[in-house]
Each structure stands twice: as C-alpha cells, then as structure tokens.
Structure 1
Amino acid sequence: MTGQGESRLLGRAQELGRLERLLAEARTGRGRVLVVRGEAGIGKSTLLDHAVNAGADLLTLRGTGIEAEAGLAFSGLHLLLRPVLGEVDRLPDEHARTLRRALGLEPGRAGGRFAIGVALLELLSTLAREQPVLCVIDDAHWLDDASAAALLFAARRLGSERIAMLFAVRDLHAPPWPTPGLPELTLAGLDDDASTELLENYASDLPRHTRARILAESCGNPLALLELTATERMGRNPRTPCGTAPHSRIRRAFADRIAALPDSARTVLLVAAADGTCDTGTVLAAAERLGASLDDLRLAEDAQLLMFTDNCLGFRHPLIRTTAYHAATLAQRLDAHRALAAVLDTADDTNADRRAWHLAAAATAPDEAVAAALESSAEHARARGGLAAVAAAYERAAELSPDRHDRGRRLTAAARAAADAGQPERACELAARAAPLLTDPLGAGWSAMVRAALTDDEDRGLDAHHMLAGTAESVADRAPDLAGTLLFWAADSARQAGDPAAAARSAALAESLRLPGAEGVRDVATVAEGRVANAVPALRRLLDRAAGLPPTCPDQPLELRARTTVAAWPMLLGDDAAAHELALGAVRDARQHAATGVLPEALALLASAELRLGHHTDARATATEGLDLAREIGQRRSAARLAGVLAMLAALEGDEPKAVEHAAAADPPQAALALSVLELGLGRHDAALDRLTALTPAPDRLEALEAVPTLVEAAVRAGEPDRGTQALAEYVTWANDTGQVWAQAVATRCRALLGEPELFAKAVELHLGVRDRPFERARTELLYGEWLRRERHRSRARAYLRSALAIFERLGATPWADRARTELRATGESRTTGSGTGLTARLTPQELRIVRLAADGLSNRDIGAKLYLSPRTVGYHLYKAYPKLGVASRAELAKLGLAS
C-alpha cells in the first residue's frame, strides 16, 4: 500500500510542503500542530501516513478516534500512549499519578482536564528530550471528550518543545470537532490533471469512456476514484446518481467488496466493527462464538479491508468500519455485541466498562442489570475525570431502567455530569426529561438545583429563582430541610439578578413555613435589599454560618457551585484577601473534580480578586482562560463577568479599543465603571461622570458602591461636586461598617476631594498601614501630590507623586502614570521615568509572568505546573528574558523587585 499511498498524493505538493515544514520545525525545538480537515476519502489518512514516513527519525505515537469508544473516558489517549506507558513512571509523582489514574492504571481520581493536559504535556516533553515526538491522531472527531480535551490542551502549549501533533478530522457526516486557535489545513478534491494522472496509474486498462465516467463521479476524491475503479473491475459497474456525495459512492463500493466475502468473513468484519478497538484477541474470541475463525480474518485482510499494524487490528479506512456495521442486519449486530460482552473480563474496570456498553448495545428492552452495569461504568469514568463519559453512561442507563424513579434519578445524574462537563444545552434537555419522573422530594430537589444552576449560567437569575422557590414550596411538608436549602439559593439567585423583592418573598415563604435555615434566607434577602447598615452584618452572619452554606447540599458539583457563590461574599465586604483565598480554593477544587461547568465562575471571582489586589498579570491570564472556557460552553453570565475584568484591565492601561471591545460583552455596571475609569484616566471627566451617574448611587446593589470613588473624582474634576456628594454617604457607612482600612482611606480621600483637603494626609496614612488595593493607594497619593503642588508645597508633593508613579508603572496603568509624571515635572522634577516600566516593557506578557514567578523563588517545574507549561518551555522563556533585563541568574533577578 505504500506505493498506492504515494501515488494518491498526486496534486498535493503544497500540502506536503506544509507537513515537511512542520516536521522540520519540530525537530529544531519549535512545537507545531496542524488539524487536517476534509471529507471521507479526500486523502487525510494518506497525508498522515506520509508524515509518519517522512518523520522516520521521530518517535511516532499514533492513535485514532473510535466511534464505539467515544463514550469511554480516555480510551483514545490510552490507545495513543500505549507504546510509551512504561515511560509514565519517569514523570514527577503528581503527573505520573494523574496519568495513571486517567488511563485506568491506578485507582483514584485523576483530577481535572487541566491537570491531565499538563501531565500529558509533561510526558511528551520528557520523551522529546531524547528524540523529537510526532503524535498522529486520525478520525479525531470520534475521540472521547476527555481524550480530546487533554490532547488539545497540550497542542496549544507546545512552545519550544520538539513535538509535532497532527489531527485528521472528517468534516461531513461526522460529529463537529471545533479547534479554535489551532492552524488548520482543509483538503479539497484533486484538480483534473492530478485526478487524470492518478486514474492513469491505476486504470489505464479501462476504456476511455469508463475512465471519464469515474473521473466525473469521483469529484476529485482519491479514494472514491480508486474504489470506483475496483468496483468496475469486479463487474458491478454501479450507476451513481448525479450529485451523489463521494463518501456515499465510497461506502457503496466498500459494501460491494464486503458482500463478496463468505458469511463467516463478514462476521469477523462485523465483530471488529462492533468492538471498535484493535484488540485482536477479543475480536477473534467473540467471532469464534459466532462460527468464524482466524482463516476468515485472513480473508478480510486479503480483501484489503482489515490490516495489522504493530499487532493491532484495524480497518484500512474508517468508512469500512461504518459500512461493515450498518450492512449487517439488526439481529446480526445484536449477536455481535452479545458475543463481545461474553468474552470481556469484568475483573478489569476498562473491560467491565466495554462489556457494559456492549450489553447496552445488545439490549432491546429495559434491563436493570445492564443499567446498573452502565451506572458502575459512569462512576469509573467520574473517578478518571471524564464527566462527558459520565453523562453518556447515565443517560443510556436511564433509557434501560425499568423503574420510573431510577430512570429519573439516572437522567438527573446525567444532567449534573453534563452541566459540569460544560455541556449546558445537553444538561438542560436531560434535566427536563428527568423532572416529570421524579416524585420523591430529594430527586425533585436535585433536578431543580441542576436546572436552576444552568439557568443562572445563562444569566436568567429570576427564572432560576422561580424554579427553586416553586420546588421548595411543593416539597416543604415532606422535606423541610431540602425546602430550606432550595429557598436559600432561590433568594441568592434573585439577589444576583438584582431583584430584592423576589429575594424577600423567598425569605417570607421560608419563615411562614418555619423551615430550617429560614434565618439564612432572610440574611440573603437583607443583602439583596442593599441597605449597608443591615447588609454588612447579614453578610458576616452568612460567612460565619458554616462558610455561608445551608445545612445540607446533596451533591458534590452543586456544593462546588455553592462554594463558588460564597467566595464572592467577602468581596462585598471589601475583604479582597479572603475572597482571593476562597476563589483559589474554588478553582482548585473545580479543576480537581473536572467540574468544567463550575470553573468559569470560579475563575471570574479569582480574576476579580487578583485585579483588586493589584496582580494584574495574573488577573489577565485568569480572566482570559475563564472567558475562553465560558464562551466555549455557553455560560453567558460568567463570560460577562470575565469580560468586565478584561475591560477594567484595558481601561487602566489606557487601551481604549480593547476596553471598548470587552466592555461591549460585560455586565452593564462593570462596563460603565471600566469605561469611566478609562475616560477619567484620559482626562475626559464629563464623559466619565455621565457614564456613572446613571448607575450610582444604587442602594439595591452593594456591588455598585465600587463605582462611588470614581464618580466623586469625576464630579469634582467636571466642576459638579454635588453629584459626588449625593453618592458618598452610603460609601462612607460601608467603609466604616466593614472595617476595611483601605476602604476607609478611599472614603477619606473622597471627603478631601469634596472640600476637606486636610484629610488627604490622613487618607495617605491609612493606605500606608495596609497592602490592599495598590491602585487606590496610588490614586490617593496622586491626588494629594496634585493638591500639595497647587498649594506650592512642591518638595512634599514629589515624594507622593514618585510613589504614585512607581505603583502606576508597576501596574501598567499608563494614563495614570503619565498624569503622575506630568505632575512631577510641574514640581521641577527632571527624572520622571520609573524603573519598573523600562524593565517590564521589554518582556512579552508570558515572559513577564514567568519572570515574576521565578523572582518569587519558584522552580521551573513549579512555574510550569502553575502556568500549564513544560519546565523546558519555562526555561526557554527565562533564557529569552534574562538578556532583556540585563541579568544572568535567578539571584540577580530577585534583586530587581519584580516579584509578583
């Protein structure tokens, strides 16, 4: 077949050149990836074969997506890594343990898809140190979701590794396989000259008119051309209707070749297609139960339908598997699955899972034993971190459940897994199917919470509130604890949606029904009402009462969602450090439990805390990761919050186009605040004031208080101080009641701006006592320095202006740094360039983040684990950064003051 493969590459000079460049770059330490797309038979597999041959000096790992195993978590990754599984033990313990658990080689939870992606990248990097690595994955659209996520994660982070990755994806008549951000190569049909030459190579003996018809019918598809030629020689001479797709013609040609085999050889093909793996022993054992033998396997191989590679049984083309399976009768397919189930050893979890799916495929009626086996398979997938596989197994188990309650319970479990796998549409559909089947209170409560969580993700908080409150009322007499929990979250959904009246109705219902936890529901309603004097103590009570959680939470992913919500509450009290700690924990646990549906919201909270703490580089990386994920899985609320963080970062930096772009996708209050900060930094005070006046004061939302300091400054600079005075009172009360020193400093600064300038000194003094909110400290110092200069205290002004300038430069707040620099020049200062900007401006964002972590004392391996990079890539970035900074070692780096 090698000669055939090379001949079928006629007309592909440009594509071959691209593949060879990819291999050459990988050899020299520039990791590359390419996704090859096209219809069936267009030449994707042949191109991949060429790459393998051209990369004979590379360590080649070859895998394929298998439709029958698409529901088995990490089955595709296991197939790809099978030749190098022995190398896993060379990895650091954490990465080795993660991979072994994901691949079912060790019991225990593997962790989230990020941890598995990092472990995979570490393995490939370790192998590439000794020999460049080529990963080739055919039929990637049939990969299980967990394997696909890990492989794409690694593909996006190859950096300076000696690694090349090739994916082949069928675009028509296959599941969609989006690969945003990765380079792609789409194969079109061969042109007339190449098609003619290819046909001459294989069919010069056929009459000219026959060759002309084959050329017309193949539409430039090489496999269609070859298979139509073979069929012509077999004497079947099909007349394909004009306009029939090439893949249909190919399937018809394969069907003819399969039909020409004896019954027993067709049985071997059917069993191999139903099995979907390359496990020759299992296929033969099952086929023998149906009357076939090794000789029949050889017949299929001689007919060029099956092949063996490295003792692995496979089909010569993916369409042969599909054709062999669907050409059989239903009864034959059922027999094949039963035979496979009978020969699989259930002592091994992986085989037990395969057996369960074969039993399910053979089932023609509800069967509790099969449903229970699938449920067990789902939990095996959960332990390995494959939540999409969990959802698939529970859904099929539900379909096979004879009992109505079990069916509803399993559909709810499928919905929960789909939600946390980041499949919101599927989760909604599953939850809706489960709802009418659940008559017991606990099942109804779980279903309501799943549906409400998904509704919240879509930014429909009031719909979530009504769903939870209605369910609570219906189960209150039978399950009062559960009803109290439901009303707690109903009130919080209303709070986040900005409807204090709805939250108050939940509290009133909980109290009238005398439900456990009613006081917690009332506290949530009090926070929603927004009166600072009442809201602050209510928030404190919520945080003190078992981290704010109601007494029971029946499900781990739902508990993670609850904890993520709680992580936002300290921010409403101005306690950024506590919010940061809780958000870090929520992100860590969401990754560990592979709760992709929870992760964007947790990342949004973490990015917000990092922004407020002045960790702008971290905030940008966190927000970018979260926004990509939120958009990928359709979480509008989280996407809006993350876009708001990016809008504020761009506004602080004076990047107007990016600020406007991100603000357009952000929550309106976040967008208005970010753009007003941009306007204020650029000196457009009236515009800043107009943006904020419509939002503040807003007594029904504590979050709106964050805009008050900017409103006050904009009002004063626009010559309308009264518009700032009206909003300040609530802010002062909040600052005093929360006891946050930084907030008291900002409140004091605002009072100084509004006519009590003697308070500037006190505001600065308060800031000096804490490290919180460095941007606000710099604003206070800038305003005090400006006032001192106007009062002709130039020497005193310089000290504050220099400090403000240094902070603004460190934060990358360019317009604000320019403003401080201008003020310094006005005091007679001749040197107005800080050291931070000159150093960090020379670095790329990735280099800056790595340098700061290295300055903190982290090793390359620790930095790689934090940033999802290989240690080699970290070292490469440090190697590039050191000359830019004028240093030669970590010790010198630590002296630059760049630690994060």
Structure 2
Amino acid sequence: MDRRDEREALVRILKAIRAGESQALVVHGEPGAGKTALLEDLVGRASGCRVERVIGVQSELDLAFAGIHQLCTPMLDRAEELPGPQRDALYAALGLRGGPAPDRFLVGLAVLGLLAEVAREKPLVCVIDDAQWLDTASVQLLTFVARRLRAESVALIIVVHEPDELDFSGLRKLVVGGLPKTEARMLLGSVLRGPVDERVLDRIVSESRGNPLALLELARGSTPDELLSGLLRVGELPEWIEDTYLQRIASLPEDTRQLLLLAAAEPVGDPVLLWRAAGLLGIGARAADPADRIGLIDIGSVVRFSHPLVRSVVYRAASKKQQQHAHRLLAEVIDPTADPDRRAWHRAQATPGPDDEVADELEHSALRARARGCPASAAAFLERAAELTLDPTHKAERILTAAQAKHQAGTTDAAIRLLSQAEASQLDELRRAKADLLRGQIAFTTRRGNDAPQLLLKAAKRLEPLDVKLARETYLEALSAATFAGRLADGGGLAEIAEAARAAPHASSPQGAADLLLDALATRLTDGYAVGVPMMRRAVRAFRGPDLTPDEGLRWLWLASTTAAHTWEDETWEALADRHIHLAREGGALAVLPFALTSRIVVHTFFGELPAAASLLKEANEAIEATGSPRMPLAAMLVATWQGRAADAFKLIDATITEAATRGEDFGLTIAQWAKALLCNSLTQYDDALAAADDIGEIRPPALGLSAWGVLVELIEAAALSGRPERATHAVEQLTETTRASGTDWAMGIEARSRALLSKREAAERLFREAITRLDRSRVRGELARAHLLYGEWLRGENRTFDARKSLRISHELFSEMGAKAFARRAARELAAAGVLPRRPRSNHTVRELTPAERNVVEFACVGFTNVEIAARLFISTKTVEWHLSKIFGKLDITSRGQLPCASARAQGGAERRRGE
C-alpha cells in the first residue's frame, strides 16, 4: 500500500545526505508491519548513493562484532585512511590482526571514521535490519555511531521490532504501525479469491490490526469456504503469522525442508557454504524451487528469506535432533582456519552432550573474543564450554571464568547467576577466593554501596595464603570501596580494612607503585595522618615515575590522584590526573576514561579553570554514554557549584544525596553536602551553608581525599560569617591535623585563611596576608580568589574601605575570569559597598554566538589540536570537525585557525554581556 508518510520520511533522509548532512533513524514496528518493504523502497530510491546492508540473525547473538563485520568488511579498502590506533582496533575487533584487546571507544571511532571516509566518494546509506538479533558489541557500536553522525553524508537506518529492547535513546524514531482500515481492506481485497462478506472483511482487518503481512498470509492461506463463513482463527500477530508459515513449510518436499533448515542455521547467508552442506545430504539446486515459488527464500549471491520470521519459523519447526544435524553439516564445511569461531559455535550447537574436545575449542574461541575486546562473546563461549565439560572441577572453573567475563561485559544478572552456579560447584580454595573477589567487585561496580568493602575484605583474607599479589590488590580494592561507603560501610569500614592490610604479607621486593600505595594508605588510616604523609608522598611519586605500567596506572591512578589531593600536593595532583587521562586515551580504555576525566575536572575547578572543566565534562558524558556506564554526578555537581549556577547545582546536589543514600554510599553524601555548603557560601547563605556542613562535619572515621578536609573549610567560613565562630573551633583543630603535617603552601594557605576568620585585628590581618602569599604560590586560584574576597570583606568590616578595594577588585577579576559567577557577584556587591563599580569586560556585539558544540571544537583548536585529535576527544568524525570549523569561521568572521583565540574570546565576551543584559 501507499505508506506515503513513512516513505516521505525516508526520502527526506536521502535528500539530507545528498546535501552533505547525516541522518540516523530507528524504524520500529511489530513483525509483518511492512518495515522491510519500506527499506526496499528506500534502497530503490537511493540512486547515486552507496548502500550497505546488515541483517541481524538470532543464532549470531553471541558472536562478537558479527554485525560490524557485515557492515565494515566491504569498506575495508578505505581503512588505511583511519588514524593508526583506530585502524588497529577495528582490525583486531574483526579478527584481522592480533594484538591487545581493542577498546570499544576506538572501534566505535574507527567505524564512524570509516563510514565518513567512504561517504566522501558518494553518500552512504547503511540499512541495519533486525537489530534486535545483532550481537551486543555491534548494537553498542552502531548506537555510538548513530549518535555522532553530523555532516558525513551518511544515513544509518536501524530497524528493530521494539526500540525498548535496545538503548536507542536520543535517536529519532519512525513507527510503522498497521494500515488504516480503508487501506487494509484494499490490500486484502487485492489478493482475495472470490466474494467475501463485508462483515468478515471488517473482522479480519480488526483482528489483524491492519498488519500487512498478516492480511496477505491470511488471504493466501484461507480456503474460499473459510472466507465465506468467517470461521477464521486470527490470534496474536506473530503466532498467527508463524502458524501460517508452518503450514506452508509443512507442504514442501523433504529435501526442500532440509535445505531451508540449513539456510536458517547458517546466519551469514553464504550460498557457497549452504550448497556445500546440502551436498553432504545429496541435495541439489532444484530443491530450492518449491520454496522459491511460494516466496519463502531467494538464493542468489546471498541467501535471503522473504521475511525474518520465515528463518525463525523454519528453525524452530525442526526437532532438536534435526537442528543439531544441520549445525554438524555446517561445521564440516566451514574452513577452521578462516573462520574458527563460527565453526566452533556450530560444533557446539551440534553436540548433544558433554564433549571435551568441543569445549576446548570453545575456550580457544573465548580467548580470541576476549583478545578482540568482547567479553560478552567470551562469556557466551565459556558458558557453553562449561555445559559441554565432563570433569566437575574443570567445569566449575569455566563457569567462574564465564561469570568474570559477564561482569566485564556489564551483564550483571548473568554474572551473578553463573557465579552462584560456580559457588555451588567443585571449586578449589583459590577459586573460591576468586569467587568471593568477583562477588565483591560486582557489588562495588553496580552499587558502590556499603556491602562491597566487607565482601572484598573477605576475599583478600582468603587469598593471603594462596596468592599474595592478588591478596594485596584486593586489599587496595577494598580500601577503594570503603572510601566510597565511608561511615555507611558494613563492619569496621576503612579502619578495619586498613588494620587487616597492615597485618597482611608484604610484597616481594622491589615494591610496585600499587604496593607502596596500599602500605601508605593503611599506615595513614591506622597510625594517623602525620605518620602516613611521607609514605603517601613516596607512593604518589611512584605513580609519576617511568616504571609505572599502563595496566597499573589505569587501575590505580584515580586512587593515587585522590591521595595526592589528600596530602595537599597540588602539582602532583594535576600531574597524576593528566597521566590518568593520557593512559586512558592512548590505550582506548573507555571504561576508565570517565573516572580519569572526573579527577581532572575536579583539579580544574580548584585551579579556577572552569571552562576547561566544563569542556572535559562533556567528554566524560560522551564516554559514559558510549559505554553505558552509570552517571557520575560529582564532576557536573562541582562545575555547576563553582560556576554559581544555583538552580542546576541544587538539583544535582539533591539528586546525588538521594541516589547515594539509596546505595549506602557515604562518599556521595559527603561530596554533595560539601558542594551544598560551598554553593551556599558563594551565595552568602551562611546559615544554610553551616547546616549543610554540620550534617557531616562532626568527628568522622579516617577519610581519604578532598572530603577529609573540604567540608571543614566550608564549615569554618559559614560559622565565622554567620556570627557563630564557636561552632568552628573543633573544625579548625581537625583541619590543622592535616595542614601542619602536609606543610605545602596550599595547606598552610587554607589554614591561615581559616584561622584569620576566627581571629581579630593584627592576628587576623597577618593570617589573611599569609594566606594570600601562600595560595598565590600554589595552583589553586579559586582558593586564592576566596582569600582576597574574605580579606577585602574583613577590611571593609574594619572600616578600612580604601584598603579593601584592592583585594575586592582582585577577587572580582579572578572570579570573573574563571566564570565563578556567584562568587563574582558577591565580590561585586562588596566592591559597590566600598564605593567602587566593578569593571565590565568589553565585548563585540557583531560576532554571532557559537553553539556549545562549536565552542568545544574551538577550545581544542585554540590549544593546537589537529582535526583528527579533536574528533577523537569529542567522539565525532573528522568530517564533522571540518563542518563545525567552517561554520565557526563564518560566525567569527575569520579565515585561519591562528585567528581563533582572539575571535573566540570576543564571541564569549559578547555572549556573556548579552546574557547579563
């Protein structure tokens, strides 16, 4: 039928890509609604475009990157145009090259870049049919690419039964529903043989809900008597359609049915493989004719069923024994060298009971899948291998390894199910300890709640006599988990874990960076901050050294960075955060990248580099979206707080408090309350700031990171400025325990500023000046600006208005440059009270304002990044970077990249002024 609206929507996509734009669309509807017919119409109209098709096949759900292999293989002649790391990652994912496991991030960028390169020759249309049956890795990568298409002349059409089955949030959707009543009757009437009662027609249309395939199959499969009498049984749609196909398949000759089963079991659609397998049964080419005549299958350059349901019905209609026989034949004709994994999978499907040889082959396939960076496929191979393993001990080991792979793939429920099976099996003591470790890791990864520390502590103790190195790593994981759980941790929390770690066996010499960090943190938590400082500094220096391995850095640099902040080492804190990002980007470790970016964002906020923090926040969100990782609101919350965006910040703070309380995560509660106190202080809401800090400012168990002293600083300021300095006495004592032992300019500057707020006259002035001098020697410009602000406020309170103006002006300028608007307004009010109007930056009203995406490109371009480097950091294609730059040059009225810094500064200043007006 016409389907005019749907066809017009697809035609608009073709027009867009021919005009240099890109489009992504999810087409969804129930089986038989006509999605495939619409795609065929689209392909027929795509003259002048290159068309590539991918068809999801249910039996390939567990074969890593099978869908990406279908899409990219015909285009690999353009892969040499990709950046080296992306090209290598793509080749590794497709099994074309050995090497370390590729990260999905790099593979996704490679696929995006490859599509963009191919589309440089002519517009590219990629049609992905039956996406619900694609392997997980391919779905994630295709969604990643679809969300980043901008200006590559690429159309990505993803067809799926139900969009909720997969995560297609953020993508435009087209619903293909049933035909309207009039069109449905016309379609039905076009294929009916003889007269039919109008009431029967109405009933058929109503019960089929206008589904075109149901209408056609019903008309073809019903007798004239049934149509005249109306005695038709039309049930739920797929069941009805499947029943119709079953009847048609049952009428076919035996050799035709066998050929259809082989085709259904062979998901690639390779006619050579199909005829080789059929030849083993003595089946010739004529066997396909009866199925072809009734429109079930077409065997040409590829094997295509007329509808995806036909393949499914053919396969399910066969007995288990018949299915196994088909897989056995296919395994025999597949080249074990060219395609060992698909051969292994067919052999596994053909095996009715335990078979150690096939299980070993599957285990090798699992190793290859893991090497290609697809733990989900590795887990599927291992799970099936375990089912086929006869020896109980070996079987349990494979189940446990499959559970670990499921956890790495992010399929938590399946990991827990397999882990429970393993724990109920014959595991030796080492593997039982590893099972305990996995249970703790799952608890920490999924909830970061209060039960993870105890689970990891139990695993660490169990591992001590079995594997000292793994035991020490597990103690460090337990400390990390306890840092998040804090006061809400089950058991003794940080203190208990630190005591156990101190009593654990020592690492072999020479100690690695992780060993030094474990000893340092355990000492700090058991013997106190002053005793632990030298050891913590030695440990963080090791993480800056040349001997640090990439794996060790990726795993522990975030904790080392937190430790550097805990010891008030601003330069080391920055260096470690930078190194963490570098390792994550260079290694393509997308799962680690959000943690690394979050650490660097926090550094940026303290250093007063809020635009850089906001830029990295966008990259972190892209990385989280790409991996499907849970959101980490810490960075967004701190950026919004320092920027003074009160409504956004309070919303993020409240959401974080709710989520953290639900998980039993004290770290989240502490950071949120700290951010609230900081925000309220910037807004001069000192009573509210004091209440927020009071919630967590009481005597606490030993804590790590900024939270160990950040809340104390806000509590002291809020208490002093709300006229209740006595509330800050204990907080000053707690703060001094860390600042004196640290002795850095950052630490001593914060202590001096805090003490000045509680002091009078000469003592206060001396302390304020000391604070400014020391903080000026540090990198923490935000705290320096606050010192100037507090000093200026104090001077004005002492009726020294003229003296106050200098510090207040410096404070206002620093906060304005940073983009800390709430603090800047507070300084501006104080300046006005001192009789001075704050200076307003000049701006150019003729420059058109840049979009957020364009500002991101400008920020990277201004510091010298190439288009390829910008594309990698913003998770877009190089073509999209070029497109953004062309628009940016026009808006800023410039002709070269060298003009960008000055022009973008004018644009930003003009935008700020217009918003202020």
d(CA) in 2 for partners of 1:726, 1:60: 71
Q: What is the match of residue 901 of structure 2?
A: 894
> What letter is aligned with 1:317?
H
Whether the aligned pair in 2 keeps the contact of 1:650 and 1:658 (CA below 8 Å) is yes
Whether the aligned pair in 2 keeps the contact of 1:271 and 1:283 (CA below 8 Å) is yes
d(CA) in 2 for partners of 1:435, 1:281: 45
> What letter is aligned with 2:401?
A
Task: Choose 129-138 or 499-508, whichever is displaced more.
Answer: 499-508
d(CA) in 2 for partners of 1:73, 1:592: 23
> What letter is aligned with 2:172?
P
Whether the aligned pair in 2 keeps the contact of 1:696 and 1:705 (CA below 8 Å) is no
Q: What is the match of residue 58 of structure 1?
A: 49
> What letter is aligned with 2:816?
E
> What letter is aligned with 1:370?
V
**CA displacement, residues 196-246 of structure 1 (integer Å, 9 cap, x when unaligned):** 111122226453366455324422111111111121269998999867211
> What letter is aligned with 1:818?
R
Q: 2:175 aligns with which of 179, 186, 189?
A: 186
d(CA) in 2 for partners of 1:837, 1:398: 69
Whether the aligned pair in 1 keeps the contact of 2:90 and 2:102 (CA below 8 Å) is no
Q: What is the match of residue 707 of structure 1?
A: 711
d(CA) in 2 for partners of 1:214, 1:675: 63
**CA displacement, residues 533-582 of structure 1 (integer Å, 9 cap, x when unaligned):** 2443453465467899xx9x9xx989954555444322322335544554
- Which segments of 5 or more consecutive residues in structure 1 lack a partner in the other structure? 1-6
Q: What is the match of residue 643 of structure 2?
A: 653
Whether the aligned pair in 1 keeps the contact of 2:269 and 2:303 (CA below 8 Å) is yes
> What letter is aligned with 1:655?
R
Relative to 1, partners in 2 of residues 1:277 and 1:584: Cα closer, same or farther, differing over 3 Å? farther
Whether the aligned pair in 1 keeps the contact of 2:499 and 2:522 (CA below 8 Å) is no
> What letter is aligned with 2:70?
L
**CA displacement, residues 456-501 of structure 1 (integer Å, 9 cap, x when unaligned):** 1234554333323334444544555554554454454334422593
Alignment of 1:172-183 (within 5 A): 176-183=165-172
**CA displacement, residues 790-819 of structure 1 (integer Å, 9 cap, x when unaligned):** 567667655544443343234322212222
d(CA) in 2 for partners of 1:838, 1:682: 30
**1:160 matches 2:167:** no
Whether the aligned pair in 2 keeps the contact of 1:557 and 1:595 (CA below 8 Å) is no
Q: 1:394 aligns with which of 367, 377, 382?
A: 382
Alignment of 1:6-45 (within 5 A): 7=1, 10=2, 12-45=3-36
Whether the aligned pair in 2 keeps the contact of 1:483 and 1:515 (CA below 8 Å) is no
**CA displacement, residues 662-715 of structure 1 (integer Å, 9 cap, x when unaligned):** 213322111112222222222211111111112115442242311222222222
What is the DSSP-based 3-state SS (H/G/I as helix, E as strand, rest coil) of the residue aligned with 1:277? coil
Task: Choose 129-138 or 697-706, whichever is displaced more.
Answer: 697-706
d(CA) in 2 for partners of 1:436, 1:16: 56
**CA displacement, residues 597-618 of structure 1 (integer Å, 9 cap, x when unaligned):** 6555445434434433444345
**1:199 matches 2:199:** no
Task: Choose 79-88 or 332-341, whichever is displaced more.
Answer: 79-88
> What letter is aligned with 2:670?
P
**1:677 matches 2:674:** no
Whether the aligned pair in 1 keeps the contact of 2:193 and 2:224 (CA below 8 Å) is no
What is the DSSP-based 3-state SS (H/G/I as helix, E as strand, rest coil) of the residue aligned with 1:665? helix
Relative to 1, partners in 2 of residues 1:215 and 1:69: Cα closer, same or farther, differing over 3 Å? same
What is the DSSP-based 3-state SS (H/G/I as helix, E as strand, rest coil) of the residue aligned with 1:50? helix
**1:533 matches 2:522:** no
What is the DSSP-based 3-state SS (H/G/I as helix, E as strand, rest coil) of the residue aligned with 2:54? strand
**CA displacement, residues 624-645 of structure 1 (integer Å, 9 cap, x when unaligned):** 665687699887xx64xx2122
Q: What is the match of residue 150 of structure 1?
A: 141
Relative to 1, partners in 2 of residues 1:236 and 1:319: Cα closer, same or farther, differing over 3 Å? farther
Whether the aligned pair in 2 keeps the contact of 1:416 and 1:557 (CA below 8 Å) is no
Shift of 1:366: 1.7
Q: What is the match of residue 665 of structure 2?
A: none
d(CA) in 2 for partners of 1:286, 1:740: 75
Relative to 1, partners in 2 of residues 1:786 and 1:891: Cα closer, same or farther, differing over 3 Å? farther
**1:372 matches 2:360:** yes
Relative to 1, partners in 2 of residues 1:842 and 1:762: Cα closer, same or farther, differing over 3 Å? farther
**1:433 matches 2:441:** no
Q: 1:850 aligns with which of 844, 847, 857?
A: 857
**1:347 matches 2:351:** no
What is the DSSP-based 3-state SS (H/G/I as helix, E as strand, rest coil) of the residue aligned with 2:52? strand
**1:757 matches 2:765:** yes
Relative to 1, partners in 2 of residues 1:748 and 1:875: Cα closer, same or farther, differing over 3 Å? farther
Task: Choose 801-810 or 518-527, whichever is displaced more.
Answer: 518-527
What is the DSSP-based 3-state SS (H/G/I as helix, E as strand, rest coil) of the residue aligned with 1:425? helix
Whether the aligned pair in 2 keeps the contact of 1:527 and 1:534 (CA below 8 Å) is yes
Relative to 1, partners in 2 of residues 1:50 and 1:803: Cα closer, same or farther, differing over 3 Å? farther
**CA displacement, residues 324-362 of structure 1 (integer Å, 9 cap, x when unaligned):** 1011111111110001111111112xx100011111111
Whether the aligned pair in 1 keeps the contact of 2:792 and 2:807 (CA below 8 Å) is yes
Task: Choose 339-348 or 211-220, whichever is displaced more.
Answer: 211-220
Identity within the alignment, %: 33
**1:686 matches 2:683:** no
Whether the aligned pair in 1 keeps the contact of 2:33 and 2:178 (CA below 8 Å) is yes
Shift of 1:621: 5.3
Q: 1:322 aligns with which of 308, 312, 320?
A: 312
Whether the aligned pair in 2 keeps the contact of 1:466 and 1:490 (CA below 8 Å) is yes
d(CA) in 2 for partners of 1:240, 1:798: 94
Alignment of 1:202-281 (within 5 A): 202-203=191-192, 205=194, 207-208=196-197, 211-232=201-222, 244-281=235-272
d(CA) in 1 for partners of 2:85, 2:521: 40
Q: 2:393 aligns with which of 405, 426, 430?
A: 405
Q: What is the match of residue 408 of structure 2?
A: 420
Shift of 1:594: 7.3
Shift of 1:856: 0.5
Shift of 1:431: 2.2
Task: Choose 576-585 or 186-195, whichever is displaced more.
Answer: 576-585
Whether the aligned pair in 1 keeps the contact of 2:501 and 2:522 (CA below 8 Å) is no
Whether the aligned pair in 2 keeps the contact of 1:697 and 1:705 (CA below 8 Å) is no
> What letter is aligned with 1:574?
W
d(CA) in 2 for partners of 1:205, 1:787: 98
**CA displacement, residues 273-330 of structure 1 (integer Å, 9 cap, x when unaligned):** 1111111111111122123222223443333212257x22121111011001011111
**1:356 matches 2:344:** yes
d(CA) in 2 for partners of 1:259, 1:250: 14
Q: What is the match of residue 869 of structure 1?
A: 876
Whether the aligned pair in 1 keeps the contact of 2:430 and 2:466 (CA below 8 Å) is no
Q: What is the match of residue 132 of structure 1?
A: 123
Task: Choose 272-281 or 424-433, whichever is displaced more.
Answer: 424-433
What is the DSSP-based 3-state SS (H/G/I as helix, E as strand, rest coil) of the residue aligned with 1:130? coil
Shift of 1:508: 4.7
Relative to 1, partners in 2 of residues 1:584 and 1:541: Cα closer, same or farther, differing over 3 Å? closer
Q: What is the match of residue 77 of structure 2?
A: 86
Shift of 1:271: 0.8
**1:729 matches 2:719:** no
Q: What is the match of residue 610 of structure 2?
A: 616
Q: 2:443 aligns with which of 455, 461, 480?
A: 455
**CA displacement, residues 392-417 of structure 1 (integer Å, 9 cap, x when unaligned):** 22222222222223222222222222
What is the DSSP-based 3-state SS (H/G/I as helix, E as strand, rest coil) of the residue aligned with 2:383? helix
Q: What is the match of residue 469 of structure 1?
A: 457
Q: 1:444 aligns with which of 417, 432, 435?
A: 432
Shift of 1:867: 1.3
d(CA) in 1 for partners of 2:622, 2:159: 24
**Alpha carbon RMSD of aligned pairs, Å?**
3.5
Q: 1:747 aligns with which of 734, 738, 751?
A: 751
TM-score if structure 2 supplies the norm length?
0.87
